[in-house]
Amino acid sequence: MNKVHAYAAQEAGGKLNPFTYELPALGSEEVDIKIHYCGICHSDLSMIKNEWGMTQYPLVPGHEIVGEVIAVGSEVKNLKPGVLVGLGWNSASCMHCDQCMNGSHHLCSTVEGTIVGRHGGFADQVRGHWSWAIPLPEGIDLKKAGPLLCGGITVFNPIILAGVKATDRVGVIGIGGLGHMALKFLNKWGCEVIAFSSNPDKKEQILAMGATKVINSRNPKELESIAGSLDFILNTTNVSLDWNSYLTALAPQGKFHTVGAVLEPMAIPAFSLIMGEKTVGGSPLGSPALTRTMLEFCVRHDIYPMVEEFPMAEVNAALDHLESGKARYRIVLKV
Ligand SMILES: [Zn+2]
Ligand SMILES: [Zn+2]
């Protein structure tokens, strides 16, 4: 039996406490990963509080995992002990449905979340299906790579889905954990990037990350000044905004894409879409293959999230720091 030392919440909103559990025998297509680093994502907070109604306790959060393969099942062909891998929000998918066969494993109807009904990465070890254990490219900075596995791919996938071109003018709403990674990707993509932020204190940092211009999203006049100019807008916030003013900022045939899980319905006036042939979409994460592509793009262009590191034993302080909104911009736990 394989004993895992983890941190778990025992009840909704509860503090995390040391927790050990035993893994059963390794399945033929599974791999065990010794964890080096694990990022903290807003979804971990949502899961701890059971905001989405799907948390099972005890919950070991953590789904931005970077580590080393230490055991592989008998059918695993592409990984062996010693290989460095990342494991994100998803840990397994059926491998035979149309989506899996198309390479869109993240859209599989039975895709399994790393912290949904199983224990995640705030631990010294985690288990997953080989397909989701993404081999890390040579030269990647392990200390900062964790958040790329969830937050990074979440904002990279929309750039591919929307067919964003190097010549495009684009916008990113909300420059936090997700948004600051989107800025860096779009800057290296070649785009002119407008950042929408409600926090003037972040302006200098946002410009240094590659934004061409920062627009105060609380000032309707500033929003009006860019009407009809953006080919693509990515929303990373999870609060209700004046959606129509952002649709107005889109150029004809522009695309508005949200990865922020706004819980209230989004009121979208049909005429705003019809007159300029505009579209509104959304997406979760991305496929394993696209995650690999993204990681290579990150190494090539030296794109990493800004991270603050905490020892895993201080996970509660790290979670409080994230919840206070003071994290700049992503937190990583070191085992
Ligand atoms: Zn996440
Ligand atoms: Zn499937």
- Residue 131: left (phi > 0), alpha (psi -120 to 50), or beta? alpha
Residue 41: pLDDT over 70: yes
pLDDT computed for residue 86 by the predictor: 98
Q: Which ligand is nearest to the CA of 110?
A: 2
**Identity (one letter) of the amino acid at 89?**
W
Read off the pLDDT of residues 224-267 as tens digits, 9 standing for 90 and up.
Answer: 999 999 999 999 998 999 999 999 999 999 999 999 988 899 99
- Residue 10 to residue 60: CA distance in whole angstroms: 9
Burial class (CB in 10 A: 0-12, 13-18, 19+), 25: exposed
CB burial of 11-23 (b: ≥16 within 10 Å; e: otherwise) equals eeeeebeebeeeb
Ligand nearest to the CA of 259: 1
pLDDT at 180 over 90: yes
Instruction: Please provide the size of the chain in residues.
Output: 335
Q: What is the pLDDT of residue 200?
A: 85
DSSP conformational letter for 123: B
Given the structure tokens 């200098």, which residue do they identify?
204
Radius of gyration of the chain (CA): 20
- What's the CA-to-centroid distance between 285 and ligand 1, angstroms? 9
Read off the pLDDT of residues 192-205 as tens digits, 9 standing for 90 and up.
999 999 988 899 99
**pLDDT surpasses 90 at 2:** no
Starting from the CA of residue 94, give the closest ligand. Answer: 2
Predicted confidence at residue 1, as pLDDT, reads: 63
CA of 98 to the centre of ligand 2 (A): 7
Ligand whose nearest atom lies closest to the CA of 115: 1
Relative to the alpha carbon of 96, which ligand is closest? 2
Q: How far is CA 13 from the centre of its chain?
A: 22
Encode 266-296: b = buried (16+ Cβ within 10 Å), e = exposed: eeeeeebeeebebebeebebbbbebbbebbe
Q: How far is the CA of 88 from the centre of ligand 1 (A)?
A: 7
pTM of the complete model: 0.96
pLDDT tens readout for residues 42-72: 999 999 999 999 999 999 999 999 999 999 9
Mean pLDDT along residues 135-145: 97
Strand pairing class (30-40; 65-72): antiparallel
Dist. CA 92 → ligand 2 center (Å): 9
Mean pLDDT, range 27-32, rounded to an integer? 98
Q: Which residues of 140-174 are buried (b: 16+ CB within 10 A; e: fewer)?
A: bebebbbbbbbbbbbbbbbbeebebeeebbbbbbb
**pLDDT per position as a tens digit, 79-118:** 999 999 999 999 999 999 999 999 999 999 999 999 999 9
